[in-house]
Amino acid sequence: MEELISKIAELIIKSKHAVALTGAGMSTESGIPDFRGPNGIWTKNPDAERKAYQSYFKFQQNPKEYWIDRMTGASLLGDLINALPNPGHFALAELEKMAILKCIVTQNIDNLHQKAGSKRVLDYHGNISLLRCFSCDSRFDPREFELDRLLAEDRLPPLCRKCNGVLKSDVVHFNEAIPADVAQESQAEVGKCDLMLICGTSAVVHPFALLPRMAKQYQSKQKTIIIEINSDPTPLTEESISDYLIQGKTGTILPKIVEEVKKRTS
């Protein structure tokens, strides 16, 4: 493992535009369950996944009901608002501070990369700490809307300050399009990157799972080195999309890589 960590550190130092793609595996060490791992939410409760596929349809049919459900039901992921970043998040934030990591494209809605200090984060599946307008895609801080009062006075859903459209959570539901701004910026980052760290994702949900495959296709122009950090091999490993798999916990491996990078660049 040490040899592989040194090799990866060397590759990261030599990179010109390193990008990280992250998934729920980054946050399990912060106490947030993943979806498809051995203790994943969908693994343990397939019914919950089937229900999750209904959320977007429900919002479109009856935004008021969607909001009442959302405000009165329990979150599947537990207490995300108070969750704290773990050493894996801080390690990626440090790589950004060293001007090596240029961007994180995350599927996680938990805001933990931002809490760890990462600045350039694209929330591919949205962010639990934001609301987004269904009509104009404007995003807002929920605290601007006195949501509890709207619930008590039967005045849900909250409406957009810009176009009076209906607001929903910024979280992207199954069958909902990835917000255009995030989709475009993520694709641009993948087109520019010459090294991709793929951390804690099973890489099975589309269109996110296309990003590493796009990076592989761009290889004709530039060799994009794709490095997976995951407790287990994934389809990216099996299809040889990734050039390396460091098998283990992101909270342990990422800090080791950053330590090695710091040793070699100081």
* Chain residues that interact with Zn ion, rule: CB under 5 A: 133, 135-136, 138, 160, 162-163, 165
The neighbouring-strand residues paired with 139 are 132
Piece in contact with ligand APR (CB under 6 A), picked from 33-41, 53-61, 184-192, 212-220: 33-41
Q: Rank residues 136 and 204 by Cβ distance to Zn ion and give the closer one.
A: 136
Q: Rank residues 93 and 156 by Cβ distance to ligand APR and give the closer one.
A: 93
Q: How far is CA 254 from CA 5, 64, 90, 229, in A?
A: 9, 43, 9, 8
**CB of 209 vs ligand APR, minimal distance in Å:** 8
Choose from ligand APR, Zn ion, none: what does 25 bind? Cβ within 5-8 Å by kind. ligand APR
Residue in 70, 125, 168, 216 binding ligand APR, rule: CB under 6 A? 125
By the rule CB under 6 A, 169 interacts with ligand APR: no
**CB of 180 vs Zn ion, minimal distance in Å:** 14
By the rule CB under 6 A, 111 interacts with ligand APR: no
Return the residue nearest ligand APR (CB atom): 25
Q: Rank residues 34 and 94 by Cβ distance to ligand APR and give the closer one.
A: 34
Q: Rank residues 44 and 223 by Cβ distance to ligand APR and give the closer one.
A: 44
Catalytic one of 89, 113, 125, 173: 125
State which of positions 7-26 bind ligand APR (CB under 6 A): 23-25
User: Does 125 participate in catalysis according to the annotation?
Assistant: yes
Q: Which two tokens stand for residue 86?
A: 């773990």
